[in-house]
Amino acid sequence: MRRFRRAISWYGKIIIKVLPFGLVKVIYKDYEQSNNGQGVIFVCNHRSASDPFLMACLPYEAIQVVNMWPFRLPILGIFARWAGYLSIREMPFEDFLEKAGKLLKEGVSMVTFPEGTRSTSKAMGQFHSSVFRLALEVRCPIVPMCISGSENIPAKGTRLLEPGKIRVYKLKRLQWADYKDLTPFTLKNKVRDSIAQHLAVVETVS
């Protein structure tokens, strides 16, 4: 599985660094710069179909929690299954909890987009609770991620890329001790608010 995860990561690096032919620049900023081998849950806002490929910026062994459509992609869908990607809509929550918990305890991190679908604009949708129930159950760190500038790269309904800059921000993690007394509902809103506040600042400046 590690080989397939590595292959997907390199594929993502090619997508974001080579295929845009200089039209798109991806800037990654890590506010924490911590990678101690512990599995964490990355929680990202979701604006574009390109967002999952941007996660190749992360220097972590990770899988993604996805809807069913990525598994339908030729070749890449097969690799995703072999890499251990999880489709939250294809399994009962108890099975998701068991498989995800096992991966996290093995040091494999998890990338999630809890809006469930891309917003295609700067507006952020409401978060679903499943990954936050998972975090509370397995007691692992949560790392908020902010993606800015991807909403038109590419725009919905087209594969054409517009010139621009995409910024990916890795914020400071929440340890289990920071959120253990919260409900999944309160936790998801806390993480969503932290992402929204950071986006508001960086997009006002830029």
Q: In which band, very low, low, confident or very high, does the pLDDT at 52 lie, cut at 50, 70 and 90?
A: confident
Tell me the C-alpha distance between 98 and 155, whole Å. Answer: 36
Domain spanning 2-205, CATH architecture: 3-Layer(aba) Sandwich (3.40)
The whole-model pTM stands at 0.86
H or E stretch covering 105: helix 93-105
Spans of all domains in the chain = 2-205
Q: In which band, very low, low, confident or very high, does the pLDDT at 8 lie, cut at 50, 70 and 90?
A: low
93-102, 137-146, 167-176, 180-189: segment of lowest average pLDDT: 93-102
39-60 mean pLDDT: 90
Q: What is the DSSP string of 21-61?
A: TTSEEEEEEESS----S---EEEE---STTHHHHGGGS-S-
145-152 mean pLDDT: 90
Query: Could you tell me which residue, 72 or 42, shows the higher pLDDT?
Result: 42
